[in-house]
Structure 1
Amino acid sequence: MPHGTIRYWAAAKAAAGRAEETFAAGTLGDLLEQVRRKHEGNATLLGVLDRSSFLVDSTPVGTRPHGEVALEPGWTVEVLPPFAGG
């Protein structure tokens, strides 16, 4: 399984208590499942993940099903919580 880094920004970073973590995952869906398991007691982070958008290697995921978004070796996933303002 390819290894890579998940980076947390803004509210996700505050909730996770760190800027990034490393995991081994083949799809974005697999990765997010692992993150949820690892942080299952952190309701704040889990809530932020539910509202966030994601970039995989600088490409927006958009509405694609997370289980269909493949992660290549050395991947980077950015967690982008919604930002206030306008």
Structure 2
Amino acid sequence: MAKGTVRYWAAAKAAAGVAEEPYDAGTLAEALATVRERHPGELVRVLQRCSFLVDGEPVGTREHETVRLADGGTVEVLPPFAGG
């Protein structure tokens, strides 16, 4: 298992009630499962609309079970937002 940080932005940050928290997981899917357990309710709904960066790289359409997490890495949770 890798240890790192999950960072929440905008609506995800509001729903989680924290800006960041640690992960202890081997894949993005495992990290997100832990996030859902910690924050049932609004954050679970927000996550359905989010995109993710792992160590600065977009996850895109890859299956979350295939995205490996690194020790000391960062998962960024990015809800859709407007602007330009």
**TM surpasses 0.5:** yes
Distance 2:53 2:30 in 1: 15
In structure 2, give the amino acid aligned to 1:59.
Answer: E
Query: Per-residue CA shift, 1:19-54, capped at 9, x if unaligned?
Result: 0000200000000011111112xx211111110000
Alignment match, 2:74: 76
Distance (Å, rounded) in 2 between the aligned partners of 1:77 and 1:23: 9
The alignment covers a number of residue pairs equal to 84
- CA-atom RMSD in angstroms: 1.0
- In structure 2, the gaps of 5 or more residues are none
- Identity of counterpart residues, as a percentage? 64
Q: What secondary structure does 1:78 align onto?
A: strand
Instruction: Write out the 4+ residue segments of structure 1 that deviate beyond 2 Å after TM superposition.
Output: none
For structure 1, the residue ranges without an aligned partner over 5 or more in a row are none
TM-score normalised by the chain length of structure 1:
0.93
Partner of 1:47: 45
Give me the TM-score of the superposition, normalised by structure 2. 0.95
